[in-house]
Amino acid sequence: MYQLNKTSLYTVIGLCYGLAGLAQAQSTPQTTLPDAAPDAILIENVRIFNGSSEQLSPSSHVLVVGNLIKSISKTPIAAPPGAKLTRIDGGGRTLMPGLIDNHTHMMMNSISQLAVMTSDIGYVNLAAGAAASKMLMRGYTSVRDLGGPVFGLKKGIDSGMVIGPRIWPSGAMVSQTGGHGDFRLPTELPSAPGVFSYTERIGAAMIADDAASVQKRVREQLALGASQIKLMAGGGVTSSFDPLEVTQYTVEEIRAAVVAAENWETYVTVHAYTPRAVRQAIEAGVKCIDHGQLLDDASAKLIADKGIWWSMQPFADDKPSNFAEGTPNRIKQLKMFSGTDSAYALIKKYKIKTAWGTDILFNADTLASQTEQLTKMVKWFAPAAVLKMATADNAQLLALSGARSPYPGKLGVVEEGALADLLLVDGDPIANIKLLEDASKNLWLIMKDGKVYKNITH
């Protein structure tokens, strides 16, 4: 008798199934099912802060279809035919864009620096996920992350594994030896060739000491999914080696990062406080300065003339410090705090494009009061301008990532065609911006990407 080997047997079985499928296809009419109409949410009877207005709109209605704002009208809106419609009665409250924090470190904001440096990375990820969830429930629907191993957290949020804001990640901060991103111990210096520190191994910071190395590390972050690049161009408070006034990197080295980022159609922002650090960063072609508390008139005018973004944080000595009095880090911190008032005065004098962020690190209590860092901005700006900075203006800086933005679409505004990241505030935040501080009480609706994460209107 003829014996079938395994390959021949599988061939025969496959042929039988194929013939059966063909016969069924020929006998069964082919039909194309229509696409199901996307879910629609109609938010009725709200006054709107659209991201840039100085006063609220008259009573209006907003229709969200899928993840987009479909229509806005002062007259009743009909739902799309066939759509599953959810109605939300705004009750005359304020509808506004979701808040945007443009300077965060999502992996390092809620636990101590010692815990970040010594704990199992699994614990750090869990802590970051919990903090991200709370941040969304405070009304922050988008953040720009300026350094840390955040790619996994972003993926978890985007996939629905954990809730949290949209994240524009920078990946690892790029720093020179002894710079603001060098968190090695003194006993680890001099470093052995080819040996990576713990912060490098987990993707928190990368050390690069010449133009070629800077370019390589930047390209690595872009390959991993960075939206923009963060480079350390001057001294910092939390780092141990560098005095605040130290200028870090050369124009050539910063330019290497800028070219690498521009080749990926995105930009470089730098950590810098002093005029010299900022001037050489601008000469190298960076598009954004983060911090800048110690800048002088000439450097501020240069920022304005070049159209550079100034991403400022309202740092002040109004919260418990992470550093003991008299320590080098605390002395640097107080010196930096002393420049905040003059920096905002320069921003106003030269009408500089300004972003707002918190840069909260290693402190769960400060993180919980995140929005106080927004509301205290009324010391320097009108409430409507503060809200604009945290919505429409911050969204413009996010858009600077261009093709590297992970979330195509318009954010920071309430207008037709924009992404549906929305908050419903019980009251008028232009008249009383402090309403935003108590999110549990005053945020009645939190929506991100058309999905409702909180609704207490019913």
Report the alpha-carbon distance of residue 66 to residue 314 in Å, rounded: 36
3-state secondary structure of 329: helix
In this model, does residue 321 exceed pLDDT 50?
yes
Per-residue confidence (pLDDT) for residue 36, from 0 to 100: 56
Domain residue limits, the chain? 40-97+414-455, 99-380
Same fold, 40-97+414-455 and 99-380: no
Joined tokens for residue 375: 């509301």
Least confident range from 90-104, 313-327, 373-387: namely: 313-327
Residue 322 one-letter amino acid:
N
Dig out the tokens for 448 from the structure.
């991100």
**Measured distance CA(128)–CA(145) in Å, rounded:** 12
Task: Provide the percentage of residues in the chain whose pLDDT is more than 70.
Answer: 92
One-letter amino acid for residue 21 of the chain: G
pLDDT surpassing 50 at residue 159: yes
Cβ(329)–Cβ(323) below 8 Å: yes
Q: What is the pLDDT of residue 37?
A: 60
Helix (H, G, I), strand (E, B) or coil at 174: strand
Residues 6+ apart with CB under 8 A from 184: 191, 197, 199
Place 330 in a pLDDT band, splitting at 50, 70 and 90.
very high
Rounded to an integer, what distance in angstroms lies between the CA atom of residue 453 and that of residue 447?
Answer: 6
Coil, helix or strand at residue 76? coil
Segments in 292-363 forming alpha helices (H): 297-306, 328-337, 340-350
Confidence class for position 319, pLDDT limits 50, 70, 90: confident
CATH assignment of 40-97+414-455, given 2.30.40.10, 3.40.50.410, 3.20.20.70, 3.40.50.1220?
A: 2.30.40.10
Please give the CATH topology (third level) of the domain spanning 99-380: TIM Barrel (3.20.20)
Give tens-digit pLDDT for 397-441.
999 999 999 999 999 999 999 999 999 999 999 999 999 999 999
**What pLDDT is stored for residue 35 in this prediction?**
53
> Which of left, alpha, beta for 449 (phi over 0: left; psi -120 to 50: alpha)?
left
**Model pLDDT, residue 18:** 42
Out of 3-12, 171-180, 253-262, 266-275, pick the least confident: 3-12
**Which pLDDT band, with edges at 50, 70 and 90, does 458 fall under?**
confident
* Under 8 Å between Cβ of 401 and 168: yes
Rounded distance, CA 426 to CA 410, Å? 25
Closest CA to 236 of 364, 117, 356, 335: 335
pLDDT reading at 269 higher than 60: yes
- Residue with the bigger pLDDT between 419 and 22: it is 419
Helix, strand, or coil (residue 333): helix
Whole-number average pLDDT of the chain: 92
